[in-house]
Structures are given as C-alpha cells and as structure tokens.
Amino acid sequence: MITFEQMRIFLAVAEREHLTEAAKALLLTPSAVSSAIHMIEEHYQVRLFNRIGRRIQLSDAGSVFVEDCRHTLAQVKLAETTLREFSGLKRGALGLYASQTIANYFLPPVIAKFRNLYPAITVKMSIGNTEQVENAVLSGVTDIGFAEGTIKNESLHRQKVADDELFIIAAKNHPLTTKPSVKFQDISAFPWILRENGSGTRAIFEQALANHGYDFTDLEVMQTFPSNEAVLSAVAASNALTAISKRAVSALLAAGLVERLNFLSVKRDFLLLLNPQRFKTKAVGAFIGLLES
C-alpha cells in the first residue's frame, strides 16, 4: 500500500520533473527518491514518468495521480493542523458532569473563567446525582466528574476541590427555630423532605447520623425530590425539615424565608473525579489547573 511519504516524494518529483532537484528539496539521496518512485510503479504495475533521455515527464497515469496526491496530502495537512489546534487549546470540547450543588453553586465562575481563557473550547455540562456522575466518569461519557459523598469505585482518581457543609433547615417560624439547641428527638418529631437516593447530600446526611449514633430510619421521610430547589420550596411551605448544602440555601437564609437549626454540623468535600484509564486532554489539564490556582 502506498504511504504518505511516497506520495510526498512522488509529488516533489512531479513538480520539478527532476529526481536530483526533488531529492535536494526533500533532503534525501537521489537513490532514495528513485527507489520510492520505483516501488510505487512496481506495486501497481504502472508507469508514473516517461524517461526521455536524461529528462523525465509525467505519464498519463502520473498526471492523474498528481491531483490525487495533492488532494490527499492537503487533507493530511488539515488533519495535522486540527490535532495541533486541539493540543494547543485552539479547538476542542470538554465534558463536565457534576452533582447539582456543585454544578449550580461552585462550577459556574470556574467555567466562565475557562471560557474567557479558551473561547474555542466547547464546554458541555451535564447534571445528575453523585451516583450518575460516578457512572458517567467510569463509562467515559464525560471527561471530568464532580461529586460529593461516598465514591464507590476505588479505581477512580479523586481530588478535593472545595469544602462544603450541610445545614439542617426549617421554614421561617417553625416550632424548632426558637430552640437554641435541637436534639434528635426534636427533629424526629417532624416530617422530612430530602434529595433522592443516590444523591451525595442524602448519603452524607445518613452517614453523619449513623456516625453520631442516630438511626436514619427513625425519621419520617414524607417526600424526596431530585433537585435542591424543589426540596427548599417544599420545606419553606411546610413544617418539614431538610438537610441541604449551605451553598444551596444561602440566598433563602439571607432573605429570611427559612432558618437553620442548631443540630449536627456536617462537613463534606467537593471531589473532582477522573478515570485514570482515559487520556487526559490539554483541555482537561487546563480546567484542573484553574481549579488548583
């Protein structure tokens, strides 16, 4: 099968109609150039040049093959340029998959800064719970995952990128908001509205209760929602309680629509997840660099 290098050699000879001049231009020996032309002719049983004395001229087949070579090598050059642009962050795409809290309250300013620095890189953001994020990173659906909570697959690379805290929240004027300190028996007397199973917020809250000797099943979970906003809206309009990120609830707290109860401070980390078996592109490295700066 003909190679790109043989095409380049043939094209150099065809444009000059001179083996020695082509060899000089290609920094090759005349014998190497002659051998490359001979190999093409022998393999395809076709004559590319007519030898006229000490001169050479393109044959009919050679004249047609010149245009094919020019087109093919132009496409190769375009492909090489594309790869260089990806390598130099002049083109490309970056896939992010994040849990809701991180996607809505932590990543937006980082993404904005990244887009300012690398406007030609398309950033695609997907949002799901921690379990969905982990699966997306494992399967290669996304380049970088962001989650909080327990990551089940030990093969994933994880890196802390920020701190967070869960607040126990009740509606304004809830009976428990007048208590300077709240006990487990107090909160277990009221219904709860929480994120769905699979969310990092839910998993960390359950684990925190267990770590302090409390049984999560003693709480009456009357409703679950797949979004922080839905949880907060429902809590603000009822006597139910919830556990939710301070980042998600800060605006409602400032507006006085909900209140924080003094019970069980729960710290957690925001984690960056990578699949070590996948190639780390320059765009991935640049985004991580922004997080670390």
- Tens digits of residue pLDDT in 223-237: 999 999 999 999 999
User: Are residues 206 and 223 in contact, defined by beta-carbon separation less than 8 angstroms?
Assistant: no
151 CB neighbour count, 10 Å cutoff = 19
Rounded to a whole number of angstroms, the distance between the first and last alpha carbons of the chain is 50
3 CB neighbour count, 10 Å cutoff = 11
| Residue 85: band (very low, low, confident or very high) from pLDDT cuts 50, 70, 90 | low
Region 164-267: CATH code: 3.40.190.10
Query: Architecture of domain 92-161+271-292 in CATH?
Result: 3-Layer(aba) Sandwich (3.40)
- pTM as predicted: 0.71
What are the C-alpha distances in Å from 240 to residues 28, 44, 98, 187, 266?
Answer: 81, 81, 27, 9, 19
Least confident of 75-84, 124-133, 161-170, 172-181: 75-84
**φ, ψ for residue 140, nearest 5 deg:** 85, 10
**CATH 1.10.10.10 for domain 4-87:** yes
- Asked whether this chain's domains 4-87 and 92-161+271-292 adopt the same fold, the reply is no
What are the C-alpha distances in Å from 214 to residues 185, 211, 225?
Answer: 10, 7, 23
Residues near 189 by Cβ (< 8 Å), separated by ≥ 6? none
Question: Can you tell me the mean pLDDT for 8-37?
Answer: 91
Mean pLDDT of the chain: 91
Considering only the C-alpha atoms of the chain, give the largest distance between any 2 of them, rounded to a whole number of Å. 107
Return the structure tokens found at 201. Answer: 């917020």
Q: What are 163-196's pLDDT values in tens digits?
A: 999 999 999 999 999 999 999 999 999 999 999 9
User: Are residues 56 and 19 in contact, defined by beta-carbon separation less than 8 angstroms?
Assistant: yes
Boundaries of every domain in the chain = 4-87, 92-161+271-292, 164-267
